Amino acid sequence: MHIKDWVQTRIRQDEIDRYKEESEKDFIDDELIESCLDGMREPDVAYVRQIIAKSLRIETLSLRETAALLYVKDPVLIAEMEEAAIRIKKFVYDNRIVTFAPLYLSSKCVNSCRYCSFRAENGEMERRIVPRDELKKEVQTLAGEIGHKRLIVVYGEHPDSDIGYIVDTVKEIYGSHFTTRKGSGQIRRVNINAAPMSIGDLKRLKEVGIGTYQVFQETYHKKTYRQVHPQNTLKGNYDWRLYTMHRAFDAGIDDVGIGALFGLYDWRFEVMGLISHTHELERRFGVGPHTISFPRLEPASNAPLATESKYLVNDEDFKHAVLTLRLAVPYTGMILTAREDAPLRRRILPLGITQTDASTKIGLGAYSRDSQEQDFKRQQFVIGDSRSLDEVVRDMAEMGFITSFCTAGYRCGRTGNKIMDMLKCGTEGKFCKLNAIITYREWLDDFASEETRRTAEPLIQKEIREVREQNPDMFDMLMAYYEKTAQGSRDLYF
Ligand code: SAM
Ligand code: SF4
């Protein structure tokens, strides 16, 4: 099919309209957001403390409450917000950080987002779709040599990487197994970051067993959205993107990841947009986003907006945005990516981050090429932290975080509502601690360097002691799985 004809078939207006209520308006109320922000420029100290107490009860904040946190400037209150963020993370997720790698499979794209080097007008980009034999090599490196268990697979929007290609690649990834030092390696959770789809296509993603379906709105501000996404492109349709997650729920996918690309418009507005999106999903489907992402604009070839936007977010404001999001949606997973450099990641991780990537390469075919250099002609933007998974695991262990390679949740049906309820009452954190210990053991034995293993051993022993004290009913079972894993059994989980 000709590209133009294919583009014509993508957007189903009825799969937007069915979600709009009464008026034609969508659920991002610009006026309400602006008025909440305007009214909260000098938040009252007692009010801020009430809000922090609400977050600590693991309740989602209102727009007004979120606006108040966004304007807190008093260092004493900021310190109280930080302390609350740490406590919330500990209560809901314990001291686990889940790790994953991005895998880019296509650089062809019909869109022209002004901040992205994959945009159609960029003649300097090498355009291709990763073929099957090369995909096999990429997965071999990721799962067989580095030791990843989770991927976020990323696709441009193009007929050559349409739903058929996505389904085939997910099957290929799940079907690959590798022998390791002591056991075996395999990708056990494939998350997807791909363009908005119809309910029919999303059902195919559900059938093939994806984990999270992730789509970022980029900017919730409509005027800016129109400016940065040319209106004659598929991505120019704000509503088609905004209601993607509604369609995902209707297709049976209840782990959805939302996000905004920070730097396109005012960062406070984007946080408010993410919270509005969260409220809408909670109200409609009884379950909020599985994860929230907050990528910042990074330099990209032939995309001057990425460096020249007047809304680029500095480190302090970025930290404030992350902190506010942690408090505003206390149960959600929060993803900090390798777009950020190592020192900033160290500063922000403790403030409630639950997932981060490592050994990140975003060039097509870059994992198996084994080149450390970033290549402007082959990748979407420039990353800030290219440390290996081994280094990141060690660094996190030194900070007291156990890296979890657990992928049990969705395989045991703990998705959507089921997992949210457990997270809110703190039981998922305790439960997942067991899987974190088992998968940490597995990874340390299969992939870690001697140095990382030495750093991690005291931490794993401390975790085991905590289970004995805090969750004695599960202790014997944990130790049985732990011993089996240490002897070479793989993929045991609770
Ligand atoms: N093409 C699909 C889409 O746009 O939804 C999915 C993949 S796109 C390659 C993944 C994400 O990368 C985008 O949603 C955007 O937020 C982010 N991105 C694009 N350009 C970027 C840049 N210059 N710096 C940081 N992130 C960027
Ligand atoms: Fe294409 Fe996505 Fe890049 Fe936009 S952000 S040009 S849709 S790959």
The domain ranges of the chain are 3-22+87-411, 427-486
C-alpha closest to that of 10 among 342, 308, 247: 247
Q: Calculate how far, in angstroms, residue 218's C-alpha sits from the geometric centre of ligand 1.
A: 8
CA distance 182 to 72: 51
The predicted model gives 176-204 an average pLDDT of: 95
Which one of 112, 113, 214, 380 would you pick to mutate in the ligand 2 pocket, going by the greatest count of ligand atoms within 8 A of its CB?
Answer: 113
**How do residues 42-73 score in pLDDT, each as one tens digit?**
999 999 999 999 999 999 999 999 999 999 99
Q: Calculate how far, in angstroms, residue 382's C-alpha sits from the geometric centre of ligand 2.
A: 15
Q: Is 295 in the pocket of ligand 2 (CB under 6 A)?
A: no
Tokens 């060039």 correspond to 363
CA distance 26 to 14: 14
- Other beta carbons less than 10 A from residue 236's beta carbon: 17
Q: Is 154 in the pocket of ligand 1 (CB under 6 A)?
A: yes
> Does the pLDDT of residue 419 top 80, yes or no?
no
Please report which ligand is nearest the Cα atom of 196.
1
The predicted model gives 459-479 an average pLDDT of: 94
Residue 155 in contact with residue 193, Cβ under 8 Å? yes
Please give the number of the atom of ligand 1 that sits closest to the Cα of 303. 23
What confidence score (pLDDT) does residue 87 get? 97
Q: Is 194 in the pocket of ligand 1 (CB under 6 A)?
A: yes
Q: Is 157 in the pocket of ligand 1 (CB under 6 A)?
A: yes
Where does the pLDDT of residue 424 fall: very low under 50, low under 70, confident under 90, or very high at 90 and above? confident
What confidence score (pLDDT) does residue 134 get? 95
- Residue bearing the bigger pLDDT, 168 or 20: 168
The predicted model gives 387-398 an average pLDDT of: 97
> Does the pLDDT of residue 428 top 70, yes or no?
no
C-alpha closest to that of 182 among 482, 449, 493, 447: 447
- Residue bearing the bigger pLDDT, 363 or 448: 448
What confidence score (pLDDT) does residue 426 get? 67
Average pLDDT, the chain: 94
Tokens 């709009």 correspond to 20
Alpha-helical segments (H) within 407-492: 408-411, 416-424, 427-446, 450-470, 472-486
Residue 163 in contact with residue 9, Cβ under 8 Å? no
Q: Which helix (H) or strand (E) holds 92?
A: helix 75-93
- Other beta carbons less than 10 A from residue 383's beta carbon: 20
Report the percentage of the chain scoring pLDDT > 90: 86
Q: Calculate how far, in angstroms, residue 39's C-alpha sits from the geometric centre of ligand 2.
A: 36
Alpha-helical segments (H) within 94-230: 132-139, 163-174, 199-208, 222-228
CA distance 276 to 63: 7
SS3 121: coil
Correct CATH for 3-22+87-411 of 3.10.180.10, 3.30.930.10, 3.30.1330.10, 3.20.20.70: 3.20.20.70
Using a 10 angstrom Cβ sphere, with 0-12 exposed, 13-18 middle and 19 or more buried, the burial of residue 392 is buried
At 165, the amino acid letter reads Y
CA distance 166 to 159: 11
Using a 10 angstrom Cβ sphere, with 0-12 exposed, 13-18 middle and 19 or more buried, the burial of residue 331 is buried
Q: Is 109 in the pocket of ligand 2 (CB under 6 A)?
A: yes
CA distance 276 to 263: 19
Q: Is 234 in the pocket of ligand 2 (CB under 6 A)?
A: no
What confidence score (pLDDT) does residue 221 get? 98
Residue 426 in contact with residue 93, Cβ under 8 Å? no
Where does the pLDDT of residue 429 fall: very low under 50, low under 70, confident under 90, or very high at 90 and above? low
Please report which ligand is nearest the Cα atom of 313.
1
Where does the pLDDT of residue 420 fall: very low under 50, low under 70, confident under 90, or very high at 90 and above? confident
Residue 329 in contact with residue 278, Cβ under 8 Å? yes
Q: Is the CA virtual torsion 407, 412, 415, 421 positive or negative?
A: negative
Please report which ligand is nearest the Cα atom of 236.
2
Which one of 380, 382, 383, 385 would you pick to mutate in the ligand 1 pocket, going by the greatest count of ligand atoms within 8 A of its CB?
Answer: 380
DSSP for 53-66, written as a single string? HHHHTT-PPPHHHH
The predicted model gives 10-34 an average pLDDT of: 91
Q: Calculate how far, in angstroms, residue 328's C-alpha sits from the geometric centre of ligand 1.
A: 24
Q: Calculate how far, in angstroms, residue 217's C-alpha sits from the geometric centre of ligand 1.
A: 10
> Does the pLDDT of residue 430 top 70, yes or no?
no
Q: Is 320 in the pocket of ligand 1 (CB under 6 A)?
A: no
At a CB cut-off of 8 Å and minimum separation 6, what does 317 contact?
267
Please give the number of the atom of ligand 1 that sits closest to the Cα of 109. 1
Q: Is 338 in the pocket of ligand 1 (CB under 6 A)?
A: no
> Does the pLDDT of residue 85 top 70, yes or no?
yes
Tokens 């080097």 correspond to 117
Q: Is 195 in the pocket of ligand 1 (CB under 6 A)?
A: yes
Residue 222 in contact with residue 241, Cβ under 8 Å? no
Q: Calculate how far, in angstroms, residue 194's C-alpha sits from the geometric centre of ligand 2.
A: 9
Please give the number of the atom of ligand 2 that sits closest to the Cα of 116. 3
Please give the number of the atom of ligand 2 that sits closest to the Cα of 109. 1
Where does the pLDDT of residue 494 fall: very low under 50, low under 70, confident under 90, or very high at 90 and above? confident
Using a 10 angstrom Cβ sphere, with 0-12 exposed, 13-18 middle and 19 or more buried, the burial of residue 119 is buried
**How do residues 221-271 score in pLDDT, each as one tens digit?**
999 999 999 999 999 999 999 999 999 999 999 899 999 999 999 999 999
Please report, for residues 88, 101, 143, 454, the alpha-carbon distance to residue 257 in angstroms, rounded to integers and kept in the order given: 20, 16, 23, 35
